[in-house]
A and B are shown apart, each in its own frame.
Chain A
Amino acid sequence: MTLADLEKQQIKSLNEVAVATDAAALEQVRIHYLGRNGVVPAVMKQMKDVAPADRPVFGKSVNKWSNELKQALAAKSQLFDKPKKSGSAFDYTLPGRWPTAGSKHPISRVIEESAAIFGKLGFTVADGPDIENKFNNFTALNTPAHHPSMNESDTFWLAEDQLLRTQTSPVQIRMMTEHKPPVRIITPGRTYRRDTTDATHSANFHQLEGLYVDTKPVSLADLKATLAYYAKEMMGSEAGVRFRPHFFPFTEPSVEVDFSCHVCAGKGCRVCKMSGWIEIAGAGMVDPRVFEFVGYPPEEVYGYAFGFGIERIAMIKYGIPDIRWLYENDVRFLEQLR
């Protein structure tokens, strides 16, 4: 075949595309030229008969023909594309079908979020039993021998020396008794006090305490920085902390910790009773007598501890007005906090 023949064939083929009147005719043209046994592949096979000098020009021409033909076919076929069926569109307003995920309990959520925040500061989580002995829950925490918190009216005593822990501090005692410093832990867990249940009290509640003890100096300023970081991470970047001196038997100095009100950003509102601050935590430098009880040399170690109620954080953070909601397990409440 000569180049002239090739050109004729090309013109003929493009003409056939042009005159095709329906999709079937167009398909016939495609098969005739481009099909497995079509004209174009056949021409390609004849390449070996072309003089070697002419082969490059010949090859280029065949390729050009093939491409032009394909384009023409594609362009023409669009004219024959069937219109989309009407009347059977997807009703995208129907409810989707996929099982919904459940939600974590707000208390778990606060615990896990807190563990992540303190985890970034190098704290690990520690836990202990709900049923504790007097030494771990009171004595080693330097509770005065006849402190009212030990009364039957405040603490659930199961037996002579067995009680439901009133704080998660006994976990601190356990960890310090078992491990040498440094100890850098948080202790989220369930605690019990003999309170009558109302909107803000629950005999069964949760606490999160933290403890950092080391042989190198640890200061109140470190404690303040740690809690300030937590406040910002948990309550938002606007949150600040304030220390007020207080008294706890297990820390000296002791402070109460206020977070600036997350609702009004410290300006004063109904939530913070116009003070701009919300009382959140108790904290302080571990009392040397506690170190003596766990067998640490009080002169050689430094440490701080802090603690707060998890329910309180959850209630403030999620705007939960009544602590009892947390134990009623109404799914219409729980599922809001996915």
Chain B
Amino acid sequence: MKVPVSWLNEYVEVSDLSVQELSDKLTFSGIEVEGIESVGADLDDKFVVGEVLTCVPHENSDHLSVCSVSDGMDEYQVVCGAPNCRAGIKVPFAKVGAVIPDGGFKIKKAKLRGVLSFGMLCSASELNISEESDGIMILESDPATGTPVRELLPPPEIVLDLEVTWNRPDCLSIIGVAREFAALLKRPLKMPSLDFTESGEPVEKYVKVSIETPEMCSRYTARILTEVKDGASPLWMQQRLELCGVRAISLTVDVTNYVMLEMGQPLHAFDYRKLAGQSVVVRCAQDGEIMETLDGVKRTLDSSMLVIADAKDALAVAGIMGGAESEIAAGSEHVLLESALFDPVSTKFTAASLGLATESSRRFERGVDLDLADLASRRATSLLAEHGGAKVAVGVIDCDLRDFKNQRTPLRFDRARQVIGVDISDDAMIEILRDLGLIVESNSGGSAVFVIPSYRLDLTLEADLIEEIARMKGFDNIPGVVLESGSVSTLDDGFFYDRKRCREVLTGFGFTESMHYSFLSAGELDAFDKRSSEFRAVIPNPVSGDFGVLRDSLLPQMAASLGRNASRQVESAALFEMGRVFAKNSEGVFSEEERVSLGIMGPFGRTEITRRTPVSNEEALLWIKGAVENLVNVLHAGNVNFKLNDHPAMEEGWGVDIILNKKVIGCMGLVTAKLRHQWRMTLPMPMAELKLEPLLAGVNKVPAVKPVPAYPAVNRDIAFISDSSITHRDVVKCIRKAGSVELTKIAIFDIFISKEIGKGKRSLGYTLSFRSLERTLTDHEVNESFTKIIQALKDDLKVDVREA
């Protein structure tokens, strides 16, 4: 809502306040001033009347000229590009240091194609005096050279641009804003003239009005004005409309817009002669009824939309826009002036379904003063009579079906003091509310009931009145110094700290936390795994197709982020994400689940010296496996196992299920070369994804301590060549089975493959630790067990023992 200060000043005296004061008053009482526009030039002393003494073409240019300009004291050399520049004229001259209003750039000494220029000759548009201009502004009135240009121009208009919140439609008018100032400054509000003389026939002779849908239109007033001289409206009215962003058209139309801006009541003027059957019917449109609106668009209406019709056709979409047929045009002498009260919800729906938002619909949607229709009609009539010489038919047609009674709202004074937290007396509160137009109906001491004015639709509850008191009192006057402890929450938020713990463990491991959108394209998800694509949650109205589906896995985005880093020449990265995935079951029920993903790109975790050694598939996936095992371990999640799977995004033989406490809780693997190709990644990219909930189930279940071993361990190494199909687990199982109870640890120390060993075979080396909690073991005991183990490996796994 734009409010020219000079217009505002007609209803409440504000001319003694600076623009900043006005702006602060409003902003800190609840109507935010979003911008302050200065229309017209606000020029300082750097802009003076300059006389062009000489003007010669620039040597190196076909359109520039070099002038000598006098400011009455000195002469300046100025390069000018305007075609209308010539010797002998007087023009606005911006000296070095001046700031040009249009664009805000500062004039400096400059060299233009080799010629120095000390200032600029200005056009009207550069000075913000007009929208466009043709060349520099020649001052025909021949003012004295050196006069500040400011003195030749009218003072600039200040326009406040207000952000009117949803609850304050009353401030969508100049008078509404004036009311706020009147209350804030405790100054009287002056209302505009509503006077006019009626003459001739009574209005009922001209037209009859009927409302078929009182729930959508509770009041309809009509006045008839004849012999209107509908030329241009007065200049001051045109200027005010323009300052508010409304285009001036003709007197009748301008007056309806003017009163709407002034009072907040949208009005409409019909060409009376186009009214078939001398009747106005407020009715719903017929389905498929077609009407051409003022903007020249033929619109198809339906039966949910309210129209203003004559005996035959719809003439206007109620409260939104008039029709082209009954438009006031040149030669319209007789006018039917409509001022009505339309239902907010129906107006909103009609405007939305027609895609037609107007100044009028905007006001009806949010709620117009319930008791304004006739006043606004009188105001417009008065203006048309004054400026258009209109004759006003006697009386008004006022179809008033309202069940209108001013709202009553109670207030407990103590409650107000408690909620605001400031000691304000009952009387002070009453005074604030009175200033805002509320009337005390009853006051029982502890509480009072207030009558709410018809324009304050928002004051229905006690809390609303408390807000009025708080904002008028000023929120800055509310102390914020004493911090009361209040209550301490007893609700459990362990879940939050479990997640924090997990995040800290992973960052400790070297993983950096990433975050991705909850949605992405179906294509990206499909490329990874489309086995359960039918259970994805699809967004019917995505921002774009790239964000059309809620993710059912964290892996595709993890891969993309690693890939993006790789393609930006980042050598290595380890990322994790803790986030939600979504699904929709066959019954259409949505679900969500928290997961954690891990991913590594490049030789992560190597020292600088070893970075260049190629990363093998096995090494890459063992890094992720190690992270998973450690995570499970540190979080006390239980026993983790692994099993090969056939995940479509993973290389064959390199996809693995992660099993925690006998339940599959996720998977890991090496992303296929095909998927990696889009980021030109040649190195293996290992990733994992796990459910978060089971992983965090034991975070705080730190086990009771066991005694630290008191006796030394005896270690024995064994190395052997075995078939590659024999896994580490096979070996461990075999050793464990054959070993004595004192065998406490089996650790691999070497894996080796070479031509000498032969194809399909590998050399493995293990350290076995024997230890008793009760005594020092003898060599004999250990050897006995060790021999059995060697024999078992030979017998059961057919290994070729190299060294033991």
- Contact partner, B489, options A97, A108, A124, A247, Cβ 8 Å: A124
CB distance from A114 to the nearest CB of B (A): 11
Within 8 A of A (CB), among B554-608: 561, 564-565, 568, 570, 573-576, 580, 582, 584, 588, 590, 592, 605, 607-608
A210 to B309, CA, bound (A): 52
Q: Which of B32, B349, B486 contacts A244 (CB 8 A)?
A: B32
Q: Which of A166-204 contact B (CB under 8 A)?
A: 175, 179, 182-185, 190, 192, 194-197, 203-204
Are A253's CB and B510's CB within 8 A? no
B703 in the interface, Cβ–Cβ < 8 Å? no
Minimum CB–CB distance for A173 against chain B, Å: 15
Q: A99-B605, A152-B541, A241-B480 are in contact. Are A253 and B165 (CB under 8 A)?
A: no
Contacting residues of chain A (219-260) with chain B, CB-CB under 8 angstroms: 219-222, 224-229, 241-247, 249, 252-256
Chain A CB count within 10 A is highest, among B29, B422, B517, for: B517
Asked if A222 contacts B421 (CB within 8 A), the reply is yes
Task: Name the residue of chain A whose CB is nearest to the CB of B518.
Answer: A204
Query: Does B297 count as interface, using CB distance less than 8 angstroms?
Result: no
Please tell me if the beta carbons of B515 and A196 are within 8 angstroms of each other in the complex. no
A108 touches B513 (CB 8 A): yes
Complex contact A225–B482 (CB within 8 A): yes
Within 8 Å CB of B461, what residues of A? 252, 287-289
Contact check, B28 vs A103: say whether CB atoms are below 8 A apart.
no
Question: Are A242 and B476 within 8 A (Cβ)?
Answer: yes
Quick check: is A16 within 8 A (CB to CB) of the other chain?
Answer: no
Cβ of A87 under 8 Å from chain B: no
Q: Report if A220-B470 is in contact (Cβ < 8 Å); known contacts: A107-B515, A214-B487.
A: yes
Contact status A127-B570, CB under 8 Å: no
Q: Is the CB of A247 within 8 A of B512?
A: no
B444 at the interface (CB under 8 A from A): no
Residue in A125, A131, A194, A227 whose CB lies within 8 Å of B496: A125
Q: Which 9 A-B pairs have the closest CB atoms?
A: A221-B421, A219-B421, A224-B480, A253-B467, A245-B30, A247-B165, A243-B475, A182-B487, A122-B488
Q: Which of A70-123 contact B (CB under 8 A)?
A: 95, 97, 99-105, 107-108, 112, 115, 121-123
Q: Which residues of A contact B167 (CB under 8 A)?
A: 247
| Minimum distance in angstroms from A232 CB to a CB of chain B | 11
A115→B496 contact, CB < 8 A: yes
The size of the chain A interface, using a CB distance under 8 A, is 90
Residue A316, interface by CB 8 Å:
no
A156 at the interface (CB under 8 A from B): yes
- Mark B522-566 against chain A: 1 for CB-CB distance below 8 A, else 0: 000000000000000111111100010010000000000100110
Q: Which residues of chain B (597-632) have a CB below 8 Å from chain A?
A: 605, 607-608
Interface presence of A5 (CB below 8 A): no
8 A Cβ contacts from A106-163 to B: 107-108, 112, 115, 121-127, 129-131, 144-147, 152-153, 156-159, 162
Structural contact, A105 and B607, CB atoms closer than 8 A: no
Q: Does A330 contact B (CB under 8 A)?
A: yes
Given A102-B510, A253-B463, residue A129 in contact with residue B592 (CB < 8 A): yes
A244 B27 Cβ-Cβ under 8 A: yes
Stretch from B103-111, B226-234, B399-407, B500-508 at the A interface: B500-508
List, in ascending order, chain A residues with CB within 8 A of B550's CB.
Answer: 158, 164
Query: What total of A-B pairs shows CB separation below 8 Å?
Result: 243
A253 B470 Cβ-Cβ under 8 A: yes
Q: Which residues of A contact B592 (CB under 8 A)?
A: 129-131
Contacting pair A131 B582 (CB below 8 A) = yes
User: 16 new A-B pairs (CB below 8 Å) besides A153-B541, A328-B561?
Assistant: A101-B508, A102-B574, A105-B514, A122-B489, A157-B540, A184-B488, A185-B491, A203-B547, A221-B482, A222-B484, A224-B475, A224-B479, A241-B480, A255-B475, A332-B570, A334-B513
- Point out the residues of chain A lying under 8 angstroms from B538, CB to CB: 158
Contacts of A130 in B (CB 8 A): 518, 580, 582, 592
Query: In the complex, what distance in Å separates the CA atom of A241 from the CA atom of B167?
Result: 25
Task: Give the CA-CA distance A130 to B592 in the complex, in Å.
Answer: 8
Pull 5 A–B residue pairs with CB atoms less than 8 Å apart, ordered by A: A103-B507, A159-B588, A225-B483, A242-B476, A330-B565
Is A326's beta carbon under 8 Å from chain B? Answer: yes
A26 to B663, CA, bound (A): 72
Complex: how many Å from CA A214 to CA B486?
A: 9
Using CB atoms and an 8 Å cutoff, list the residues of chain A in contact with chain B: 95, 97, 99-105, 107-108, 112, 115, 121-127, 129-131, 144-147, 152-153, 156-159, 162, 164, 175, 179, 182-185, 190, 192, 194-197, 203-204, 212, 214, 217-222, 224-229, 241-247, 249, 252-256, 285, 287-289, 302, 326-332, 334-335
Q: In residues 414-430 of chain B, which contact A (Cβ within 8 Å)?
A: 418-422
| Given A184-B486, A219-B419, A246-B30, A252:B349 Cβ within 8 A | no
Chain B residues contacting A196 (CB-CB under 8 Å) are: 543
| Complexed CA–CA distance, A298 and B773 (Å) | 67
Cross-chain contact B515 with A182 (CB below 8 angstroms) = no
Q: Which of B446-497 contact A (CB under 8 A)?
A: 461-464, 466-467, 470-471, 475-476, 478-493, 495-496
B467 in contact with A95 (CB, 8 Å) = no
How many Å lie between the Cα of A104 and that of B508 in the bound state? 10
Among B420, B506, B539, B582, the one with the most A-chain Cβ atoms within 10 Å of its Cβ is B539
Residue of B nearest to A285 (CB): B419
**Minimum distance in angstroms from A4 CB to a CB of chain B:** 53
- In the bound assembly, the distance between CA atoms of A121 and B488 in angstroms comes to 8
Residues of A contacting B206 in the complex (Cβ-Cβ under 8 angstroms): none
Contact present for B491 and A126 (CB under 8 Å)? yes
Q: Whole-angstrom distance from the CB of B514 to the nearest CB of chain A?
A: 4
Q: What is the CA–CA distance of A228 and B461 in the complex, to the nearest angstrom?
A: 29
Closest Cβ of chain B to A119, distance in Å, is: 9
In the complex, what's the smallest C-beta–C-beta distance from A291 to chain B, in angstroms?
A: 10
CB distance A288 to B421 under 8 Å? no
Q: How far is the CA of A112 from the CA of B503 in the complex (A)?
A: 11
Q: Cα distance A70–B26 when bound, in Å?
A: 92
A99 to B482, CA, bound (A): 47
Q: A326 touching B463 by the CB < 8 A rule? A: no
Q: Which residues of A contact B462 (CB under 8 A)?
A: 288
Beyond A95-B608, A158-B537, whether A124 also contacts B512 by CB under 8 A is: no
Cα A242 to Cα B515 with chains together (Å): 32
Q: How far is the CB of B493 from chain A (nearest CB, A)?
A: 4
Q: Is B711 close to A, CB under 8 A?
A: no
Find A245's partner among B28, B166, B418, B421 (CB 8 Å cutoff): B28
Q: Is B797 an interface residue (CB 8 A)?
A: no
- Whether A217 contacts B491 by the Cβ 8 Å rule is no
CA separation between A99 and B607, bound complex, in Å? Answer: 8
Q: How far is the CA of A288 from the CA of B492 in the complex (A)?
A: 26
Given A95-B608, A212-B486, decide whether A157 and B470 contact each other with a Cβ distance below 8 A.
no
With A219-B418, A220-B420, A289-B461 in contact, do A183 and B491 touch (Cβ < 8 Å)?
yes
Q: Is B749 an interface residue (CB 8 A)?
A: no
Q: Which of B488, B496, B512, B588 lies in contact with A103, CB distance below 8 A? A: B512
Contact of A185 with B489 at beta-carbon distance under 8 Å, contacts A101-B508, A331-B570 already known: yes
Is there contact, CB below 8 Å, between B463 and A288? Answer: yes
Once the chains bind, are A225 and B471 in contact (CB under 8 Å)? no
Cα of A197 to Cα of B546 in the assembled complex, Å: 12
| Residues in chain A near residue B480, CB distance under 8 A | 221, 224-225, 227-228, 241
A residues less than 8 Å from B515 (CB atoms): 105, 107-108, 326-327, 329
**Is the Cβ of A146 less than 8 Å from the Cβ of B348?**
yes
Which of B168, B489, B491 has its CB near the most chain A CB atoms (within 10 A)?
B489
The listed residue (B28, B517, B570) touching A204 by CB distance below 8 A is: B517
Residues of B contacting A242 in the complex (Cβ-Cβ under 8 angstroms): 475-476
Whether B478 contacts A243 by the Cβ 8 Å rule is: yes
B258 at the interface (CB under 8 A from A): no
Q: Nearest chain B CB to A247's CB is how many angstroms away? A: 3
Chain A residue at smallest Cβ distance from B467: A253
* Cβ contact within 8 Å between A104 and B543: no
**Complexed CA–CA distance, A195 and B541 (Å):** 12
Is there contact, CB below 8 Å, between B575 and A329? yes
Contact of A285 among B463, B582, B605 (CB under 8 A): B463
A184 lies within 8 A of B516 (CB): no
